Structure 1
């Protein structure tokens, strides 16, 4: 598969599999934009951190947020927070960004997948990946803040580890 745009192509070390109830989402990691965030996501995925975590904030037409083991939107991993790696990469359908508090350097483990355009986020949240296959499964995530019966990440892993 040839590389598209400035994405990394089909490098298994920079590809994530996000298994949801309806199928597999393939995520192209963007170490060219956010190397520290990509390393954090891979480290947590390899540790099984994301397996079983719910999508705690899902806003129709906007995004689906996950990555909090408490399911409240207030939790994170035991790793230290990350410094922002903002870029000019636009927030659009399939873009994956790191959630944070009002402090730009507070990203930890929570992330969100865009359902549509979010240009108002451009340059304010770290982009670390993009959905390259399976966006229809993201579209099926149960909506709500929080959803009454939230969907979970069944398993998230680095493609290189699945071979």
Structure 2
């Protein structure tokens, strides 16, 4: 029993550490997206539960199908498949930003490989983990809702975490944090993701349900493993499925 309790406590500490680490590198510098209490989130969550995703977020790009993106990093291609069937808003946001050229020249500002492989995170126009995409047409930062689909559900759940950080120990999500999964980084507020994304360097089950996975590395995982902090995304382009992007 003592051994079991020690193992459980070790895993709990590791989960908290890695979860906090990911949160700390997201757009925490945007105070408009932060929340000091759960009460501040209740009205948003209540509205989302009563309103369809199309009505709530019809001003955001959507990917109605699949697409593929190629990142060039350190002279090597990384092919990512984006899943707009299960995560239409999250995947649509990413494809739209790729198409706009937002990621070209940006760095991976956070790469965590020890004490065990964690993530390679990039997509911040400021390069320091506090920025996001500002729409040049409106002059405002674009934020997207947390989008999680559970197995058996017809539609994703929006603006509400469904994983360990929300007290659900084993959420049965459709898109999981397998090695090579691509997901959106965010601050503590559920709807604070913008342009920062990360690639899982290992299977990270404890993030399932609290961060939105929207893609998977199909080719070039060896190149992903070779990414170091400060490495540049030389280019990002949509190579398949651009016709599925709806604005």
Q: What's the offset of the Cα at 1:119?
A: 0.6
Correspondent of 2:68 among 8, 15, 19: 15
Give 1:157's match in structure 2, choosing from 216, 219, 237. 237
State the distance in 2 between where 1:86 and 1:161 align: 22
Q: By how many angstroms is 1:160 displaced? A: 3.5
1:85 alignment partner, one of 141, 147, 161: 147
**Are positions 1:71 and 2:127 aligned together?**
yes
| CA RMSD, Structure 1 to Structure 2 (Å) | 1.7
Query: Would you say the 8 A contact 1:33–1:85 is kept in 2?
Result: no
Q: Select the structure with the greater relative contact order (CA < 8 A; seq sep ≥ 6).
A: 1
- Residue 98 (structure 2) aligns with: 45
> Structure 1 stretches (4+) deviating beyond 4 angstroms?
none
Structure that is richer in helix per residue: 2
The separation in 2 between residues aligned to 1:161 and 1:30, in whole angstroms, is 10
Deviation at 1:161, TM superposition (A): 8.6
| TM-score for the superposition, normalised by structure 1 | 0.84
**C-alpha displacement of 1:153:** 0.3
Which of the numbers 190, 195, 201 marks the counterpart of 1:115?
A: 201
| Distance of 1:43 and 1:90 partners within structure 2 | 23
Preserved CA contact (<8 Å) 1:13 1:158: no
* 1:131 matched to 2:217: yes
Q: Which has the larger radius of gyration?
A: 2
Unaligned runs of 5+ in 1: 1-11
SS at match of 1:41: helix
Point out the more displaced range, 76-85 or 58-67: 76-85
Q: Deviations over 1:12-55 (max 9, x none)?
A: 96000011114100001011221011111111111110000000
TM-score by structure 2 length? 0.56
Name stretches of at least 5 consecutive residues in structure 2 with no aligned partner.
Answer: 1-64, 136-141, 150-172, 243-247
